[in-house]
Structure 1
Amino acid sequence: MDSAFLITAFVTLFVIVDPIGLMPLFIALTQGMTPQQRNAIAFRSCGVAAILLTLFAISGEAVLGFVGISMPAFRVAGGILLFITALDMLFERRTKRREDQAEEEDHNDPSVFPLAIPLIAGPGSIASIILLAGQQPGLLGLASVLGVMVAVLVLVFVLFRLGSHFERLLGRTVINVVTRLLGMLLAALSVQFVLDGLRAFGLGA
């Protein structure tokens, strides 16, 4: 398996899911809960997100074919969507929108909504997992994409467990700086997705 693809896949999913940016939201949604309750919510939210992303990785391209959307077209559309997400990260609109979604939800258990959906497994991560699975066809390619996805979700789980400690250690300013740097990286990756899609259109013409 191409190591460059694995690195690109990991960086793409890590930036899209944004575990660092999710930490403060997880803390806010679980305020007043015991450590055991927080651990259970962290585990459930990552588990639900893993199931959803796995389903899209396995059947996402088939669903696109059923509705008549080619993979190059979806790659271009996905790249544009990721670029918009990158702009939101650079100008803090993404964090504000996530905080608004979290505040609107008043359930006792936020593990499925809003944590798993749409904060972890949102439109950006779903589009990314379909794009990455389409770039590496076959069982080995699918296994590599799913392995990268599991690695990112394990990081999300670990950071959820350590969220309060990291927040005190890093501070809000450092988290904002890291988010902007990740936004710059995501912008470059999204442009690459668009270029790959346009190149595939040219080869198919």
Structure 2
Amino acid sequence: MENFLAAFIFFFAVIDPIGTVPVFIAVTRSFEESIKRKIALKATLFSAIILLFFVVAGEFILTAIGISLSAFQIAGGIVLFLFALTMIFGESKPEEECAMVETSSTDTAIFPLAIPSIASPGAMLAAVLLTENSKYNFLEQSITVAAMLSVLVVVLVFLFAGSAIHRLIGDSGASLISRVMGLILASIAVSSVLEGVKTYFAL
């Protein structure tokens, strides 16, 4: 249960379901309510496929091109930290991604909703790092995948209730929450770098 909760919090921070709501509202404002629900479902499904691909094949691809997981963990931590800084100091997630609007409902579901809003670079990195074969057994990996999919279910629920949530928290509330998530993510990123350095020099 403790491992599930830790993985859930990690993925909740990197995916940022609440920060995705204003993005969803902005890019679907010209669609009917039934189409909006289909877009939400497609975006969540595409995100799940992308992240599951990184869970299954991410480590194999790294091994095939000769990159150690400790090096990837350090690089991933740095990328996560830079990503977190943009959430804290730069434009918040809704402000940055609402400008990316596509006209097709399927295109909208893929970009900018599935990528980079839901299946963000941070989420892809987390999918690889939290399912490392040499560090986690099958049960632990399954728990991580379950936590990741649970966060995606939360995303879907939030998108279905997007209009009501946006009225409740407003743009300012979404921006504030995105920055808090950025601070949490920065802490996680530093831990990832330190763990990667420790693992690298222990080899």
1:40 and 2:30 equivalent?
no
1:57-105, CA deviations, whole angstroms, 9 ceiling, x for partnerless residues? 01111110000000111111111011011101102425243223x23x3
Quote the residue 1:106 is aligned against. 103
Aligned length: 200
CA contact (8 A) 1:85 1:94 kept: no
Quote the residue 1:186 is aligned against. 185
| Matched AA of 1:154 | V
Task: Write the distance in 1 (CA, Å) between the matches of 2:77 and 2:110.
Answer: 27
**How far did residue 181 of structure 1 move?**
1.2
TM-score, structure 2 normalization: 0.92
Task: Write the distance in 2 (CA, Å) between the matches of 1:173 and 1:112.
Answer: 26
User: How do 1:25-174 and structure 2 match up within 5 A?
Assistant: 25-95=23-93, 96-100=95-99, 102-103=100-101, 105-109=102-106, 110-134=108-132, 136-174=135-173
Task: Write the distance in 2 (CA, Å) between the matches of 1:60 and 1:193.
Answer: 17
Task: Write the distance in 1 (CA, Å) between the matches of 2:131 and 2:35.
Answer: 34
| Structure 2 stretches lacking a partner, 5+ long | none
**How far did residue 114 of structure 1 move?**
2.2
**How far did residue 118 of structure 1 move?**
2.2
Task: Write the distance in 2 (CA, Å) between the matches of 1:78 and 1:33.
Answer: 36
| Matched AA of 2:8 | F
CA contact (8 A) 1:45 1:112 kept: yes
CA contact (8 A) 1:58 1:142 kept: no
1:38-63, CA deviations, whole angstroms, 9 ceiling, x for partnerless residues? 11111111011101110110111111
| Matched AA of 1:166 | I
Stretches of 4+ aligned residues off by more than 3 angstroms:
none
CA contact (8 A) 2:92 2:179 kept: no
| Structure 1 stretches lacking a partner, 5+ long | none
User: What is the identity percentage for the equivalent residue pairs of Structure 1 and Structure 2?
Assistant: 34
